[in-house]
Amino acid sequence: MSRFSANLGFLFTDRPLPDAIRAAKAACFDAVECHWPYDIPATDIRAALEETGLPMLGLNTRRGDVAAGDAGLSAVPGREAEARAAITEALDYAEGISAEAVHVMAGNAAGSAAHATFLENLSFAAKAAAARDITLLIEPLNRHDAPRYFLRTTDQAAAIIAELGAPNLKIMFDCYHVGRTEGDLITRLHDLRPHIGHIQFASVPDRGAPDHGELDYPTIFRAIDEMGWTRPLGAEYRPAAATEDSLGWLRTHR
């Protein structure tokens, strides 16, 4: 039976992150994950995790200058120093709260220079993460939501992982992003299984709760179970109202 992680970048956002962790526990999630927790002392997050017994699966590197349109830095030529500072910050924070993974955000870029920059920064990150027993994740984003994002397909992500050859670099396979632009979801999950470090989900195309839309999540969750996947699946969707009112799917799949 599938287990589930609450992505606190989207769920329980009406309260401080430590209280969101407690709310996820009360809702019977098996784990939590977040986006950018850096404004909150790591000691506060650790305390909430220890109180609830929930593992923190991962967090993201900073996006950069959000007002200027940054969506990460690690594939952006000329901003290597900023990218590596963001990677180090994320690894430090992850270690402080015993988070299992860091999602290295590529950013808006294209071309061979961006590819080379991303590989160089990922090589730096992989070595630093290995010393702390932390997994690195890279996530393809769909062209509708992130038209200028460097990493756009699961094939591109798999090729980068093969080229770098770092055993602690994996794909964050978001069923929502893959469903919006690639399709053939279950086949892709099977084919990429050795390279996947985390799986997330939301309805397609509105990124709502997984109880409607183009993807049949009961079938997808069953296929993931049959693959032998045992780690919690990340609920990264936007509730239409209060998070608690959107959790019928969770009660069904428990």
> What average pLDDT is seen over the chain?
97
Handedness of CA 81, 86, 122, 179 (dihedral sign): negative
Helix (H) / strand (E) containing 179: helix 175-181
- pLDDT confidence of residue 162: 98
Residue 236 is a catalytic residue: yes
Residue in 80, 95, 139, 226 annotated catalytic = 139
- pLDDT confidence of residue 1: 77
Residue 139 is a catalytic residue: yes
Residue-wise DSSP of 27-46: TT-SEEE-S--TTS-HHHHH
Residue 254: pLDDT band by 50, 70, 90 thresholds? Answer: confident
Helix (H) / strand (E) containing 121: helix 112-130
Domains annotated on the chain, with CATH: 4-253 (3.20.20.150)
pTM: 0.97
Q: What backbone torsions phi and psi does residue 155 show, to the nearest 5 degrees?
A: -65, -40
Query: For residue range 137-153, what is the model confidence (pLDDT) as tens digits?
Result: 999 999 999 999 999 99
